[in-house]
Amino acid sequence: MGLLDDLSNMANKGIAESQKMIEVGKLKNQLGQLSKNRDEVFLVVGRMAYDMNRQEPLGIAQFDDLFANIAGLDTQMAGLQNSIDELQRPVVVAGEACAQCGVVNPPGATFCVSCGAAITKAPAGPACANCGASIPDAATFCVKCGAKVEPAEQPATADAPAPEPPDSPDEPVG
């Protein structure tokens, strides 16, 4: 029976080792979680000390370099965030600038995408009598509603003939 006893002892020893390893794993997991919780508390304490120092310097020399390092990192982070914001800003090829905030809006926008103000567009040329849309030069019909465009009266221009000068320089003009 020596062989069977040896095998049984080895099996029991293996089971005991496995149970110890499982228990060690559980304890290490608990230890890791407690360490993580402690680090989170340290983070809160550090942030509180930093915020307090910003309001009124604490005068603790050991913290001064750390606080200066944090302030430098904050400045770098703000610069990077501004760069990200600039890169993510929508690019508008053509459109109307908002009279209120100056943001260039997409073509056809009736309200500003940034501040919500109504976009007012100066008419580029004559307007349709039916719908008010801008009429391109030499158009016979409105591009928006299809109404027939009546030719507008042309104002006097520089092409109009000038009055004729008097026949002789001695005659009074009048």
133, part of any domain = no
141 falls within a domain: no
Choose the most confident range, by mean pLDDT, from 19-28, 106-115, 125-134: 19-28
Range of the domain at 74: 2-88
Instruction: Give me the number of domains the chain comprises.
Output: 1
Q: What is Dmax (Cα atoms) for the chain? A: 156
In a domain, 31, yes or no: yes
Tokens of 56: 């009124």
Say if residue 158's pLDDT is above 50.
Answer: no
The verdict on residue 98 lying in a domain is: no
Residue 172, domain member (yes or no): no
In a domain, 104, yes or no: no
- Note the pLDDT of residue 171: 53
Report which of residues 3 and 117 the model is more confident about.
117
Tell me the per-residue pLDDT of 66-118, one tens digit each, with 9 for 90 and over. 889 998 999 999 999 999 998 888 765 667 888 888 888 888 888 998 999 99
Q: Among 8-12, 55-59, 151-155, which stretch is predicted with the lowest mean pLDDT?
A: 151-155
Residue whose structure tokens are 């349709």? 128
Give the model's pLDDT for residue 153: 45
Give the residue-averaged pLDDT of 150-172.
54
| Residue 150: inside a domain | no
Query: What's the rounded Cα separation, in Å, for the pair 88 and 45?
Result: 35
pTM of the model: 0.38
Angle at 139 (CA atoms; ends 136, 143), nearest 5 degrees: 70
**End-to-end CA gap in the chain:** 150
Examine residue 26 and state whether it is found in any structural domain, yes or no: yes
